[in-house]
Chains A and B, each alone.
Chain A
């Protein structure tokens, strides 16, 4: 008996440790990044880091505002391109496609998730960038926000599609039957019953997609140009802002950390803190929005 209780206790402890593991990792990563960024924050202040556009480590300027704008813009653009595609694909898979078609489409979408990001980057660099460069605008190098956003949109497709599909499938069958019985068409049922009822799941899919987009590094470095400039239109047409080069927060860290030391390294950790904060803001606000919407949906 004694040994059985001991085994119980040991197993319970192991499970507890496993459960705490990710929390411990998150906290220690945050503590480490935050501590490493302190020298930069105390040397330049919040405004010197977050409010300034000039990033020139050799001259002691460490403004990361341009990178914040770059990250936010490319993420928003990727969502605009990718989310409608992903949700449409999810609806198609969950509601419309016959089994035989699903058997082809679903593995294909999931395969996208398994492609390493450096391969996306390489594809973007040698195929997409030369295509974008054909847009006849002076100063358009092909490298920039548009190329990056298209690559990113494809990269977030599988995440958003799979989770949205599960969310749509998880809506109780009685909802759909009731809607159809009331005389609604299949499409009306999808858009006015199934999607609103699956909102919280689809919202979770979006959060994961945004997280993936903000955190993506390698593919972005390869196609966005990495120039530290505030994205601006190339000529009088404001749409050409999408052809502008930019640098993301993740790219800033990845491109420069190899050579950085002292305050430069610390400023890169500060970039990490900002990225951390940005993702927290996205998570918390998205959760708040989903929760607020829930009672009316239920």
Chain B
């Protein structure tokens, strides 16, 4: 009996401690795109170190989840790495979109691939399966292996919208992987592969090719020369107020936008 009493006291004090901690400061929840997530986490850290009593929780889930979470009010802020779809606008008419940064999508090939440049039409042809050999676009004589992100990914949605257009579909036997990192591994180990990844994931293990002569650089993406650029959005249901507004102000401040640049994305201010 004595032991039981001790356990009860322990549990009760733990519960009290937990309640006490959460009651001390304000909290802000941010949910959605895994592309925006690392950036949002950095911004949240910066904001929290300036405002000690604020707790910001950032979780992934994908752009669609972000739209839903913001629209239904389960999160204070949603994250989306693509434009908001029309049906989402009808479902959540109050939704406000705040573009906090821009991100280029690079078309990458194996570093040994001699190809340097493709037109948007050629890229569309390759990903839709009407161009199947590198020699058709001026490369070596080898079959093209297409790799892509899975259905629902914000990067894929943005690629579909910006490159493929309304009717073209990614060919059925493309290798599908569920993260930018996995796609990069596929391309870096497959000599004849082509895929699309976020600028933030570019390194020497893959080679980004230029589109219509514009190299995949932040300058070209910012100037509009590089055509495949998408917005990174934070979403609020209605006009931002209170803590949400304070956080957004911080995101658009010089300090916040410097963080955007440091993370490899293109600042909006």
With A and B bound together, what is the CA distance between A251 and B83 in angstroms? Answer: 28
- B172 located at the interface, meaning its Cβ lies under 8 Å from any Cβ of chain A in the complex: yes
- A296 located at the interface, meaning its Cβ lies under 8 Å from any Cβ of chain B in the complex: no
Q: Which residues of A contact B68 (CB under 8 A)?
A: 261
**The residue from A130, A138, A254 contacting B189, defined by CB atoms under 8 A apart:** A130
Q: Are A143 and B153 in contact (CB under 8 A)?
A: no
Q: Are B175 and A57 in contact (CB under 8 A)?
A: no
Q: Which residues of B contact A141 (CB under 8 A)?
A: 145, 175, 190, 193
- A264 located at the interface, meaning its Cβ lies under 8 Å from any Cβ of chain B in the complex: yes
Instruction: Pick the most buried of B61, B65, B154, B175: most chain A CB atoms within 10 A of its CB.
Output: B175
**The residue from B151, B152, B182 contacting A222, defined by CB atoms under 8 A apart:** B182
Q: Which residues of B contact A117 (CB under 8 A)?
A: none
Q: Which residues of B contact A260 (CB under 8 A)?
A: 64, 152
**The residue from B143, B151, B154, B190 contacting A139, defined by CB atoms under 8 A apart:** B143
Q: Are B145 and A125 in contact (CB under 8 A)?
A: no
Q: Are A245 and B173 in contact (CB under 8 A)?
A: yes
With A and B bound together, what is the CA distance between A255 and B60 in angstroms? Answer: 15
Question: Closest residue to A127 on the B side, CB-wise?
Answer: B189
With A and B bound together, what is the CA distance between A126 and B176 in angstroms? Answer: 16
With A and B bound together, what is the CA distance between A229 and B207 in angstroms? Answer: 29
Given contacts A139-B143, A227-B172, A256-B151, contact A221 B177 (CB under 8 A): yes
- B75 located at the interface, meaning its Cβ lies under 8 Å from any Cβ of chain A in the complex: no
With A and B bound together, what is the CA distance between A92 and B170 in angstroms? Answer: 50
Q: Which residues of A contact B154 (CB under 8 A)?
A: 259
A221-264 interface bits toward B, Cβ cutoff 8 Å, 1 = contact, 0 = none = 11001111100000000000000110100000011101111001
**Smallest CB separation, B126 vs chain A (Å):** 14
With A and B bound together, what is the CA distance between A226 and B156 in angstroms? Answer: 15
Question: Closest residue to A252 on the B side, CB-wise?
Answer: B150
Residues in chain B within 8 A of chain A (CB atoms) = 34, 60-65, 68, 143, 145, 150-154, 169, 172-178, 182, 185-186, 189-190, 193
Given contacts A247-B176, A256-B178, A259-B153, 15 further A-B contacts (CB under 8 A): A138-B143, A141-B190, A143-B175, A222-B177, A225-B173, A226-B177, A227-B173, A244-B173, A255-B176, A256-B151, A258-B65, A258-B152, A259-B63, A259-B150, A259-B154
Q: Which residues of B contact A126 (CB under 8 A)?
A: 185, 189
Q: Are A259 and B152 in contact (CB under 8 A)?
A: yes
- A129 located at the interface, meaning its Cβ lies under 8 Å from any Cβ of chain B in the complex: yes
With A and B bound together, what is the CA distance between A254 and B145 in angstroms? Answer: 23
A28-69 interface bits toward B, Cβ cutoff 8 Å, 1 = contact, 0 = none = 000000000000000000000000000011100000000000
**Smallest CB separation, A58 vs chain B (Å):** 6
Question: Closest residue to A125 on the B side, CB-wise?
Answer: B185
Given contacts A126-B185, A138-B143, A139-B143, contact A264 B190 (CB under 8 A): no
Question: Closest residue to B151 on the A side, CB-wise?
Answer: A57
Across the A-B interface, give the 6 residue pairs with the lowest CB-CB distance, nearest first. Answer: A259-B152, A259-B62, A226-B176, A225-B175, A141-B145, A255-B178
With A and B bound together, what is the CA distance between A289 and B145 in angstroms? Answer: 44
**The residue from B64, B175, B189 contacting A259, defined by CB atoms under 8 A apart:** B64
Count of A-B residue pairs with CB < 8 Å: 83
Q: Which residues of A contact B34 (CB under 8 A)?
A: 258
- A133 located at the interface, meaning its Cβ lies under 8 Å from any Cβ of chain B in the complex: yes
Given contacts A58-B151, A261-B65, contact A226 B143 (CB under 8 A): no
Q: Are A225 and B152 in contact (CB under 8 A)?
A: no
**Smallest CB separation, A222 vs chain B (Å):** 7
Question: Closest residue to A59 on the B side, CB-wise?
Answer: B169
Q: Are B152 and A254 in contact (CB under 8 A)?
A: no
With A and B bound together, what is the CA distance between A227 and B189 in angstroms? Answer: 18
- A142 located at the interface, meaning its Cβ lies under 8 Å from any Cβ of chain B in the complex: yes
Q: Which residues of A contact B153 (CB under 8 A)?
A: 259
Q: Are B175 and A258 in contact (CB under 8 A)?
A: no
Q: Which residues of B contact A130 (CB under 8 A)?
A: 189-190
Question: Closest residue to B160 on the A side, CB-wise?
Answer: A58
Q: Are A221 and B178 in contact (CB under 8 A)?
A: yes
With A and B bound together, what is the CA distance between A228 and B176 in angstroms? Answer: 9
Near B by CB (< 8 A), chain A positions 91-135 give 125-126, 129-130, 133
Q: Which residues of A contact B152 (CB under 8 A)?
A: 57, 256, 258-260, 264
Instruction: Pick the most buried of B151, B186, B193: most chain A CB atoms within 10 A of its CB.
Output: B151
**Smallest CB separation, B146 vs chain A (Å):** 9
Q: Which residues of B contact A125 (CB under 8 A)?
A: 185-186, 189
Question: Closest residue to B154 on the A side, CB-wise?
Answer: A259
**Smallest CB separation, B158 vs chain A (Å):** 13
**Smallest CB separation, A132 vs chain B (Å):** 11
**Smallest CB separation, B132 vs chain A (Å):** 9
Instruction: Pick the most buried of B152, B177, B189: most chain A CB atoms within 10 A of its CB.
Output: B152
With A and B bound together, what is the CA distance between A114 and B143 in angstroms? Answer: 38
Q: Are B65 and A226 in contact (CB under 8 A)?
A: no
